[in-house]
Structure 1
Amino acid sequence: MSEDKSLTKIPHFDGQHYDHWSELMENLLRAKGLWSLVEIGIQEPIIGSALSTTQQAQHDDTKMKDHQVKHYLYQAIDRVTFEQILDRRTSKIVWDSLKSKFGGNAKVKKSLLNTLRRDFEILQMKQSESITEYFAKVTSVANQMRSNEETMQDTKVVEKVLRTLTEMFTYVVVSIEESKDVSTMTIDELQSSLVVHEAKFKRLDKT
């Protein structure tokens, strides 16, 4: 039995957060083995040239798959967005149109990235925040920077957190920096370690 396409969960695009949506959609199309139709497009035969039976069958199969990609894209967008796409001949044309309209130009992206960089630099853990809450805030900004083509390694996030924890964690930070190689530490590893120490502090406060 062939795969039931109706069971495929299509990421919805509402006109906002294009970068996030396009990454989800690209991942879906790659998983389906259809991404090349968006990335490269359909190679139409030269006008007047005769195709062999095999070539014609391959071309027909490619066009069918292209219709499948368009089906996914159409399911992802609402009618207002759909009507903004004037040329819908191929899935590549549809994708490029969405990217052009909603992806933002280089100048806008650069401005956004500069804002995110400033936000990242001024982040500082507040006394009222838990480790989990602070990590959520830092990783949220870091992930937005990654979405806007910033190279953001785990090491940079780890070092940022260690520099900006509250004074309560000072000795913990010193201990981590002396006993571990911070350059190879993952974000999850650091968070797990700090959560354990945070729990110890809370137990001491109750005694």
Structure 2
Amino acid sequence: MASSGFSLAPLHVFNGEGFNIWAVKTRTYLQAFDLREVVNSDAEPAPLRANPTVAQIRHHTDERTKRHKAMSCIQNCVTDVIFMRIMACETPKEAWDKLKEEFQGTERTRQQQLLNLRRDFENLKMKEKEIVKQYSDRIMAVVNSLRLIGEQFSEARIVEKVMFTLPKRYEAKISSLEDSRDLTTISLTE
């Protein structure tokens, strides 16, 4: 990793708030070190065969130590208060699942959050004194919250929402866009 000139920023420390954002950052961090799969599964590496080569021994050792590295990453990116909740966990998957259950909530809770955010998205309308940038920022805040929970949102759906909820004073611009562009391929920034 050092030879590529790429260095990772320090991990964001989770203090009990903003679990979804912390989880995305931590997953990416673990992926950068090829440790994400270790957190997804509790599987032990297969035992060495008889008369293994040096390369096979090295590979097996690397695979075994990945669990400890992943656990270290998880433990070191939480506050001491949160650490106390996961310190008895034996595997990185167990620690991750415990954090997820406690701070992301049950499936029912997540479904309720999704319903509320979808309703918020559908009810968004541009205010008369608001500029398009402010309105699109409000829309993206809701969309990003939905995405953090796992909802898929296409750019076309977001653009459609903006186009249909702009005030009448933008009708000429909307008509011009509809005539000159394919609205299914236009981005929100455009």
Cα deviation for residue 50 of structure 1 reads 7.8
Gaps of 5+ in 2: none
Structure 1 position 9 matched with structure 2 position 10: yes
Which residue is 2:141 aligned to?
140
Distance 2:2 2:176 in 1: 57
CA offset at residue 88 of structure 1?
2.8
Query: Structure 1's 177 and 45: CA in aligned 2 closer, same or farther, altered over 3 A?
Result: closer
1:44-193 equivalences in 2 (<5 Å): 52-54=51-53, 57-189=58-190
1:54-94 C-alpha deviation (Å, 9 max, x unpaired): 55543432232222222221221011111111533222221
Does structure 2 conserve the Cα–Cα contact (< 8 Å) formed by 1:42 and 1:62?
no
Counting helix residues as a fraction of each chain, which structure ranks higher?
Answer: 1
Distance 1:81-1:51 versus aligned 2 partners, 3 A rule: farther
Offset of residue 172 of structure 1: 0.6
How far apart are residue 167 of structure 1 and its match? 2.0
**1:41 partner SS:** coil
| Distance in 2 (alpha carbons) for counterparts of 1:51 and 1:112 | 53
- The answer as to whether partners of 1:42 and 1:90 remain within 8 angstroms in 2 is no
Instruction: Tell me how far apart the structure 2 counterparts of residues 28 and 21 of structure 1 sit (CA, whole Å).
Output: 10
**1:4-43 correspondence to structure 2 within 5 Å:** 8-43=9-44
Given residue 110 of structure 2, which amino acid in structure 1 is its aligned partner?
A: K
TM-score, structure 1 length as denominator? Answer: 0.79
Compute the TM-score of the two structures, normalised by the length of structure 2. Answer: 0.86
Q: 1:179 to 1:2 in 2, by over 3 A?
A: closer
Please give the per-residue CA displacement for 1:96-121, whole angstroms capped at 9, x wherever unaligned.
Answer: 22112222111111111111111111
Measure, in 1, the Cα distance between the counterparts of 2:8 and 2:49: 39
CA shift, 1:37, in A, is 1.0
Aligned in 2, Cα 1:95/1:167: closer, same or farther, shift over 3 Å?
A: same
* Contact kept? 1:116, 1:145, Cα under 8 Å: yes
Q: Can you give the 5+ residue segments of structure 1 that lack an aligned partner in the other structure?
A: 190-207
Aligned-pair CA distance for 1:53: 4.9
